[in-house]
Structure 1
Amino acid sequence: MNKRQIGKSDLFASEIGLGCMSIGVEEAHAVRIIDEAIDSGINYLDTADLYDQGLNEEFVGKAIKGKRQDLILATKVGNRFERGKEGWSWDPSKKHIMNAIKESLRRLQTDYIDLYQLHGGTMEDHIDETIDAFEALKQEGVIRYYGISSIRPNVIQEYVKRSSIISVMMQYSILDRRPEEQVLPLLEENQISVLARGPVAKGFLTERSFNPSKEALFSKGYLDYSSEELKSIVTRIRNSCDGRSLTEIGLRYILQSSTVSSVIAGASNVEQLHANVIAGSSSSLTDDEMKQIRQLTKSAGYAQHRL
């Protein structure tokens, strides 16, 4: 699988990464998905301390034994939780980050994280304190690089100006082209990469959209698209790229941007994983295909948190 540099770092991620959030809570099943991902050429694994209250990190840690040196391991911090209790609270303080990293390292059974990401962020945060925590962890050698996971342009801009982030994880798909207006140009100018999550837009950009049993999938619409708009647009997208699956179209559209280092695709089973790998490894979309997709879909920017 092709690899792309993340920002100006020495990390080169597979164009398709594995979003581990959806691998489930049964250990053997979860580890098998991760094993298959690595065997398929995926070297970027993305988890978070919040996923299943740390259980997800534990599964990742068990799956990568003996393979750690070949992988880019990414996790996230910023949500305070107590195992066994419902809910969590937002805490981007230096104290919390410095404590949380210790637990993530323990669960992941490693002594360093390749990419440590802030799992959110608001303009009300003490941003300089958060940055100071990440920089301190870099100096200690327990993280190699850091980034943020956010869809708020104003928050992203502050980290671009104040910090040495190498990446921004954000929702980006054919059906959510909001990053194209403000965020992608900002990050490209500053040589910061996008790690794209939600590439198949909650399943709308997969062949299951055409399964009669999935009719309810469209009932609530998606972002600014009504149910009827979605049905029409998804069909027209598939028809615009003859011979390609919807998943292939969705993943290749995002990878058309040089600012995107990796598409972080989730998989709840091995079949989905293989479909993602095949789709991501296909040929680039043609200029005509890109033009048709852009004409069919909306490119409205973010209504809130603008620059």
Structure 2
Amino acid sequence: MKYNQLGQSDLRVSEIGFGCMSIGTEESKALRLVHEALDQGINFLDTADLYDDGRNEELVGKAIRGRRSEVILATKVGNRRLSGQEGWVWDPSKSYIKSAVKDSLRRLGTDYIDLYQLHGGTLDDPIEETVQAFEELKQEGVIRYYGISSIRPKVIQEYISKSNVISVMSQYSILDRRPEEEILPLIAEHGVSLIARGALAKGILTEDGAAKADQGYMEYTPEQLAALRENLRKVSERRHSLHHTALRYPLYHPAVAAIIPGASSVHQLVKNVQEGEGDGLTPEQFSKIQSLSYPGQYDPEHRLK
């Protein structure tokens, strides 16, 4: 397993991390998945207080008990559930962040979080107040570093310009190349790392993804996906699979420190590690993939909020 520096921090994360949202709520299965991830050399685990109403954090916490020193632990904050109401509201206030972190620490069974991420963001946020909350938590030793999870270029730009975020988490894959136009150049300029989620595009970019491709994806029709999958197999050549190509594509950009594919079974998890290892894409392969796929653009809503 290769480990990369996350932004300008002293955190070194496995280039293949584990998106823990997929572990489910059944304890024995969830613990088995996280333990297998660690045994495979994955040290970067990503969760959020929102997932399964906090249950996900609890399970991750149980799984890393006794192995905390092996883990770069990331979680998220900002989506607040209100008692008696369905869904959640966005709350990036200092008071809420400093309250919510205590609940996350308790559920995770730890006294510090390596990477605390704002789980969204808008241009209407009280950004200075929000940043102050994270900075105070750093000073208190409750968190080591902080970042933002967002697909909104203008929001990311604002937080990068007004804070010490070390990372941006965003969807990035062969089928969603939107970060290439605005986000990747921005973060590369400021020494911030991208954590890429969705590299396998809901499983479409795996050998067994034909049925999922029949449902379409973003601007791609089922017919376009079928043709693209076939062309990507040719780009992959004999040595590598479609799965491998999909995982290595985001990692080609030097600003991408890690990808965080999820897995709901040990087989899927091990497959992700095995397929993600090995040679990266050549410049020729990367260029060919770009010529076969859509560059994509963020819609106006994502530009303005």
What band does the TM-score fall into relative to the shorter chain?
over 0.9
Amino acid at match of 2:172: Y
Deviation at 1:239, TM superposition (A): 1.9
CA separation of 1:82/1:55 partners in 2, compared to 1, >3 Å: closer, same or farther? farther
Larger deviation: 217-226 or 147-156? 217-226
Aligned to 1:302: 298
One of 233, 242, 263 as aligned partner of 2:237: 242
Aligned to 1:148: 148
Q: Per the alignment, in what secondary structure is the counterpart of residue 266 of structure 1?
A: coil
Does residue 47 (structure 1) correspond to residue 59 (structure 2)? The answer is no
Aligned to 1:251: 247
Aligned to 1:10: 10
The count of aligned residue pairs is 302
Does residue 105 (structure 1) correspond to residue 105 (structure 2)? The answer is yes
1:19-57 Cα distance to aligned partner (Å, 9 max, x none): 000001100000000000000000000000000000000
Q: Distance in 1 between matches of 2:83 and 2:49?
A: 11
Larger deviation: 244-253 or 192-201? 244-253
Would you say the 8 A contact 2:2–2:15 is kept in 1? yes
Aligned to 1:272: 268
Identity of aligned residues (%): 58
Would you say the 8 A contact 2:82–2:89 is kept in 1? no
CA RMSD of aligned residues (A): 1.4
Deviation at 1:287, TM superposition (A): 2.1
1:214-261 Cα distance to aligned partner (Å, 9 max, x none): 2xx234421121221111112211222112222210111111111001
Q: Distance in 1 between matches of 2:129 and 2:82?
A: 23
Aligned to 1:289: 285
Does residue 232 (structure 1) correspond to residue 224 (structure 2)? The answer is no
Q: Per the alignment, in what secondary structure is the counterpart of residue 301 of structure 1?
A: coil
1:88-131 Cα distance to aligned partner (Å, 9 max, x none): 11111111111100000000000000000000011111111111
Aligned to 2:164: 164
CA separation of 1:52/1:87 partners in 2, compared to 1, >3 Å: closer, same or farther? same
Aligned to 1:174: 174
Structure 1 ranges of 4+ moved more than 4 A = 82-85
Would you say the 8 A contact 1:180–1:301 is kept in 2? no
Q: TM-score, normalised by structure 1?
A: 0.95
Q: Per the alignment, in what secondary structure is the counterpart of residue 145 of structure 1?
A: strand
Which stretches in structure 1 are left out of the alignment for 5+ residues?
none
